[in-house]
Each structure stands twice: as C-alpha cells, then as structure tokens.
Amino acid sequence: MIELTIQDILALIESTEVEFKSAQGRDGLGELPQSFWETYSAMANTSGGHIYLGIEETRDHKYVCRGIQDTDKIQKVLWDTINNKHKVNRNVLSIHDVQIIRVDNCNLLDIRVPRARRQDRPVYVGASPFGNTYVRQHEGDYKADDETVRRMIAEAVEDSRDDRILEYFGIDDLEKETVNAYRNRFASLKPESPWLDLSLEDFLLRIGVMGKDRVSGKSGLRVAGLLMFGRYDTIKEVFPHYMVDYQERPEPKKEVRWIDRITPDGTWSGNLYDFFQKTMRKLTADLKVPFQLELGIRKDDTPVHEALREALTNTLIHADFTGRVSILIVKRPDLFGFRNPGLMRVSIDQAITGGISDCRNHRIQDLFRFIGLGEHAGSGIPKIYKNWKSQHWRAPSLYEDRQHEQTLLELRMISLMPEESIKKLDDLFGDRLRSLPELERVILITAMTEGKVYHSRIKEISTDHPKDISSALAHLVQMDMLEKEGETRASVYYIPGLKPLDSYLPFMALFQKISPDLNENADSNSPDLNNSSPDLKANSPDLKLKLVRVLNSMGYQTMPGKFKNEEMKKVIMALCLDAFITLKELGIVLERNPKSLQDQYLTSMIKDGFLGLRFPDNKNHPEQAYRSKNHEQ
C-alpha cells in the first residue's frame, strides 16, 4: 500500500486534473457516489485525471481525510458498473488505474482516469450519448451539448475528415489559377514525376483532389480538394462557417486595430492554398536572413522561417472546418499566433514530444507534403519547439481553449534570460534571488518576463518533475517572492506589486469571449467574434467590460475556475445592476452552467431579496430575467 500525506496529494492539483469525493455512503463505510460517473465521463472525454474517494473538499477549499472503511465493496461496485454497457458505454480503466493509498492514517481510493482515445469518445453514462456525455471545464463536470457530442462521434469514426467525396462537385468548382500554380510548384520540385504527363483530371485523381468510391460508384471532388483549391462561394456551400484570416497588429496591446489583413474579400480565391501562400509571405516579410552559402548557393531559409512554415501548415491540416471559429493567424511585434478550430487529437504532451500523429485532414497534409511542406507525421510540433529554442527565445506555448473548441500556438520572440528582467529581479530581491535554486530563478524570470506564471507553463520550459515545480511555486509564495491568485489548476502567480495591467493581453485574449476588447470594432475583427449571435447582450462588450471591471476590483484578471459563494453573488449583482439579464446570458458571460447558477445562487438571491424577476408572476417564463432588486424602478 502506498503511503502519502495530504500535502503530497495537494501538490498534484496544479499539475493534473484532480477531483475529491467524500464517498462515505449512508452507513459511513464508503459508497461509490453517482457523481463519480459524471466525473469519470468528463475526465475521459477531456484530459484525464485522478478521482480520490475518501477526501472531502470544504467550501473554503480545505481538504479533510474521511477515509474509506470498506474499499473492497467500492471496488466491486466500480468494476461491475464500468463493465455494464447499460450503465457506462466504455471502460477506459485498467486494473493498475485503481489503487488503495493511505493518507494521514486513512485508506483512500485513487482512481486514475486516462484520457480516452479519440476512437473511444464520447464516454457517456446511460443508454445514449446525447444528454449523458460530460466534459471537464473549470474543475467542474458539465453536460456536453448535442453539437459537441456529434462532433466527438464524427471524430471517432472518421480518421480523416477531408476524405469524403462530394457528389456533383467537380473540376469546375476549383480555381484554375490556384490549381495551375500548385501544379507548377509540383513540377519544379519533382520534374521527373510521371504524374506530370497525365491529363489535369488524372493528375488531380493521383494527388487526391478528386476521388471515386468503389462501393457506391460515386465520383467527384474530395473535401480536401475543395478546401485546398476551391472557389470561396463553393467552399461556403459545404462549410458555412469556413473563414481564414491573417492580421498584422502594430502593438502587443489590447486592441483590435490591424495594419494589414488577408481575408476573403472578393479580390482572391479564398481557398487554403492561396491563403497559405499569401500569409507565408506576410509572416516572413521582415525577418532578418543572415548571409549563408550552401553548395555555393545563397540560403535564404532560417530556423525561424522553417518554424513559421511548419506552424502555418499545422494550423491548416489540423483544423476542424465544421467548427464555428475561424482560422486566424496574428503577427505582432512580440509574437506570432496561430489558431485553428478544433481541439487536439493527441495530448499536448504527446504533440510536443512527437512520434505520434493523428492528423485531422490527411489528404490536405498529403497535398502540402507533395510540394515539400510539412514535416513527417508526428515531427512538426517538435521541429517548431527545436527551432524556436535555437534562437534562445522563450519556449512556444501550445494550448487548447476547450470552451470554444480551438487550439492555439504562441511563438514569442522573447529571450530566455532577458537582461532587463534579471536586473529588475535583482533590484527587488538581491542576494535572495542569487541564493535560490535554478528552478525557482527560472520561475521568477518567467513571471517577470511574461507578467505571470503558472504550473503548466513552467512544465513546458523546464524538465523538472511536476511535483518539484509545485513545491518551488509554494516556496516562492512562502518567501513573499510570488503572489498566488486562484485555486488548484487555475492558480496564477505574479511578482508582488507587479500584476500586469489590463492594457497588455496575450494572444489568447484575442479569442476569449470574456475579454473586453473583442467587440470594440467588430467590423475589423474576425467574423466569428462579432455581435451576430442571438445572445447579443451576453456577447456584448458592455456586459463583458462590466464583468472585467468587477473582477479587477476584486483582484482577478479573468473569471476564476472556483469562486467563493459571496464573491459570485457580488458579481451577479453587479452584472444585473442596470438591466434585466437572462439566465442564459449569465451562463455565457460567467462561463458557468446555467442550471448550476440557478440552483447555487439565483434561487437564494431572489429569496433573500437581492434579485428581482422580470416576470414575478410566472417564474418559468421563457424570457425570465433578473435585476438587482434595490435598483428596480
């Protein structure tokens, strides 16, 4: 039996997803709670994690060991239920994932839930995936909506999302100039290829643009061919939310103003190949190229060129074109940012390590590979990290925004050890800084350089064990060299007195619906970030700006994953101060499940007289809304 302390378990909280359940049962001997299965589904469908049975988490985030007296009973119920297809559709656990551990003289059950393979998702509770599939968000378990479930099912059954043949779509739906440009590049790279002697239609068949289903006999354009070479209006017929966007922004600040932009506007084709060509020229336009000779010929390619080319290619070949957000590439003085709709098909750790590839659009990947673009399977992201490191810049940041189902990559042009940051830290801490272990110095330099630091960021930068990173962060807080904000995985650390100003926002802020800058100038931003949603008020800059101001006054930069009861009530009161706000609007802007908001806060706030109803005589009115009662007219 493994012996641990409660501190050992709490050290895991920042490095992995953790859920605690008292699991005492009516007799106090231990029982597997129903909520276990919701958490099991959510973790399996998201990033995995640990469920500890026998620990109670109190309202003020303290942890008390209750223990499990009858661990055998719980384990039997667990295995019986998880292998019952009428109860749970998929068992992703192995015998080694369930362990009895002893913590502070209590026996606990540690159940490690691995992230389910793409082919095994969705993992759901009950007979149907719809209404019974859960995902993990802000350390809570939430039911996935039907669209998310359908996307999981499609991802599970379709190894490549761009292989489908589009009946009744053909060569006439392609941009001839784009196809000719591609074929010319292919010819210059592979002048001996026998494909060059083929007719245009046969050439397109060989490279996978056209296809024929041997079973049904259907023939026509493949999805990959349409996206890569198609006319914009035809692409929109099949993918209504398709959008590609490149923006060059003049400053690393909170603003939507751009000084250069590429987006379908009627002056060019709007397809992926032409977008790649145009965007690549813009990304590398002002890069410094040292004079180098290779076999007597000047070499104009550098590791930075290579990393940007790989990042752009990866963005396009991994995009989920059925998603609702656009492909967006941003160039700023401090970074290059890449966003694609769709979450990662492999874990972020696997992507960075390399060797495992699960490309969403294999045909598009092949089309780029035929003309010398894109690394071998599973080596693209490692190449980006390696090339960026060769410039002695901060490690790239690859992450997912699960709420909006998008993947983001930041390539910052900031030194690993900027002299200015080191000097500022030396002025603040002096000998205390110089006496710290290397890991703690790296943490402080990162916090000074990037404005904040968190566990997963240090994990990207260093090779230290996650437990050692947690200990180092805790020690720096104890030494008053860092300030901590938030709990568990939402914890963020700042240099005391140097919390970043709201005027500076990272690349992620361009896509956070919570950010006040998204809709200041909707016409000049990406179409998916505008105010066309039916939930206008919840997506409006006024309501979001109001939320950000309230959060800032309470010491938060963004909405934390967990909130004290009274703090949440204060935020709700502020949002409902001047107008009636619906439950759905509150759920969107607060990034919370509407039913949970109603059950945990709104019902009691109405009862206690803090909130008034728009329709007091019909509490279930479909347009019911809430307003701070002391401001009602």
- Could you give the 3-state DSSP secondary structure of residue 221? strand
Place of tokens 């599939």: 133
Count CB-CB contacts under 10 A for residue 103. Answer: 22
Tens-digit pLDDT profile for residues 361-374: 999 999 999 999 97
Task: Name the domain boundary from 468, 494, 520.
Answer: 494
Q: Are residues 123 and 19 in the same domain?
A: yes
Q: List Cα–Cα distances, 570 to 61, 601, 627, 632, in angstroms.
A: 19, 10, 13, 17
Residues 6+ positions from 322 with CB-CB distance below 8 Å = 151, 154, 161, 239, 241
Domain span including residue 550: 531-631
pLDDT of residue 58: 77
CATH of the domain at 561: 1.10.10
Q: Cis peptide leading into 418, omega within 30 of 0?
A: no
* CA torsion through residues 527, 532, 535, 538, sign: positive
Q: Is residue 10 part of a domain?
A: yes
Q: What is the DSSP letter of 336?
A: E
Q: Are residues 427 and 555 in the same domain?
A: no
Residue 246 β-bridge partners? 262, 329
Q: How far is CA 380 from the centre of its chain?
A: 19
Report which of 596, 493, 488 is spatially closest to residue 20, judged by C-alpha positions: 488
Q: Which amino acid is at 459?
A: K
Q: Is residue 237 part of a domain?
A: yes
Q: List Cα–Cα distances, 605 to 86, 304, 615, in angstroms.
A: 40, 55, 16
Tens-digit pLDDT profile for residues 397-413: 898 888 788 999 999 88
Task: Tell me the C-alpha distance between 98 and 92, whole Å.
Answer: 12
Q: Are residues 304 and 371 in the same domain?
A: yes
Task: Tell me the C-alpha distance between 190 and 370, whole Å.
Answer: 9
pLDDT of residue 71: 92
Task: Tell me the C-alpha distance between 483 and 320, whole Å.
Answer: 39
Q: Are residues 142 and 169 in the same domain?
A: no
pLDDT tier at 358, thresholds 50, 70, 90:
confident
* The two three-digit tokens of residue 553, written as one number: 């006054």
Q: List Cα–Cα distances, 26 to 110, 350, 368, in angstroms.
A: 21, 42, 61
Q: Do strands 625-628 and 581-582 pair parallel, antiparallel, or not at all (unpaired)?
A: antiparallel
Place of tokens 């993992």: 123
pLDDT of residue 579: 83
Q: Are residues 456 and 562 in the same domain?
A: no
| pLDDT at residue 502 is higher than 80 | no
Q: What integer is the mean pLDDT of 479-497? A: 82
Tens-digit pLDDT profile for residues 26-60: 888 889 998 999 999 999 999 899 999 999 877 76
pLDDT of residue 514: 31
Place of tokens 């009636």: 580
Residues 6+ positions from 337 with CB-CB distance below 8 Å = 328, 329, 330, 331, 408, 409, 410, 411, 507, 510
Residues 6+ positions from 514 with CB-CB distance below 8 Å = 544, 547, 548, 558, 559, 589, 591
* Number of domains forming the structure of the chain: 4
pLDDT of residue 198: 96
pTM listed for this prediction? 0.72
Task: Tell me the C-alpha distance between 567 and 172, whole Å.
Answer: 60
Task: Name the domain boundary from 434, 465, 494.
Answer: 494
pLDDT of residue 515: 31
CATH of the domain at 455: 1.10.10.10
- Which has more pLDDT, 286 or 555? 286
Side by side, the strands of the sheet bearing 244-248 are 260-262, 244-248, 327-331, 335-341, 406-412, 397-401
Q: Are residues 312 and 365 in the same domain?
A: yes
HSE-CB for 68 with a 13 A CA cutoff:
26
pLDDT of residue 539: 45
Q: Are residues 429 and 448 in the same domain?
A: yes
pLDDT of residue 376: 66
- Cβ-contact 175, 271 below 8 angstroms: yes
Side by side, the strands of the sheet bearing 106-113 are 2-4, 98-103, 106-113, 49-53, 18-21
Tens-digit pLDDT profile for residues 561-594: 677 788 899 999 989 988 889 998 898 888 788 8
Tens-digit pLDDT profile for residues 147-161: 899 999 999 988 889
Task: Name the domain boundary from 494, 511, 546.
Answer: 494
Tens-digit pLDDT profile for residues 372-395: 997 666 688 999 999 998 888 888
pLDDT of residue 219: 86
Task: Tell me the C-alpha distance between 233 and 316, whole Å.
Answer: 19
Q: Of the segments 132-136, 142-146, 296-300, which one has the largest average pLDDT value?
A: 132-136
Tens-digit pLDDT profile for residues 70-108: 999 999 999 999 999 999 999 999 999 999 999 888 899
Q: Is residue 340 part of a domain?
A: yes
Q: Are residues 309 and 228 in the same domain?
A: yes
- Compute the mean pLDDT over every residue in the chain, rounded to the nearest whole number: 84
pLDDT tier at 522, thresholds 50, 70, 90:
very low
Q: Is residue 526 part of a domain?
A: no
Instruction: Report the percent of the chain where pLDDT is more than 90.
Output: 49
CATH of the domain at 106: 3.30.950.30
pLDDT of residue 530: 32
pLDDT tier at 347, thresholds 50, 70, 90:
confident
Q: Which amino acid is at 604?
A: S
Q: List Cα–Cα distances, 357 to 156, 310, 353, in angstroms.
A: 15, 14, 11
Q: Is residue 407 part of a domain?
A: no
Q: Are residues 339 and 437 in the same domain?
A: no
- Cβ-contact 53, 23 below 8 angstroms: yes
- Cβ-contact 585, 626 below 8 angstroms: no
Q: What integer is the mean pLDDT of 351-367? A: 90
Q: Are residues 340 and 375 in the same domain?
A: yes
Tens-digit pLDDT profile for residues 15-29: 678 889 999 988 888
| pLDDT at residue 295 is higher than 70 | no
Q: What integer is the mean pLDDT of 261-278? A: 96
pLDDT of residue 237: 95
Q: Are residues 205 and 282 in the same domain?
A: yes
Q: Is residue 160 part of a domain?
A: no
CATH of the domain at 270: 3.30.565.60
Q: Is residue 408 part of a domain?
A: no
pLDDT of residue 40: 96
Q: Do strands 335-341 and 406-412 pair parallel, antiparallel, or not at all (unpaired)?
A: antiparallel
pLDDT of residue 536: 37
Task: Tell me the C-alpha distance between 42 and 24, whole Å.
Answer: 22
Q: What is the DSSP letter of 599?
A: I
| pLDDT at residue 298 is higher than 50 | no
| pLDDT at residue 293 is higher than 70 | no
Task: Tell me the C-alpha distance between 581 and 535, whole Å.
Answer: 11
Q: Which amino acid is at 334?
A: D
Q: Are residues 28 and 143 in the same domain?
A: yes
pLDDT of residue 73: 92
Alpha helix positions (H), 88-166: 146-157
Task: Tell me the C-alpha distance between 206 and 200, whole Å.
Answer: 10
Task: Tell me the C-alpha distance between 153 and 122, whole Å.
Answer: 7
- Cβ-contact 626, 602 below 8 angstroms: yes
Q: What is the largest CA-CA distance in the chain?
A: 85
| pLDDT at residue 342 is higher than 60 | yes
Q: Which amino acid is at 251?
A: E
Q: Is residue 507 part of a domain?
A: no
pLDDT of residue 470: 87
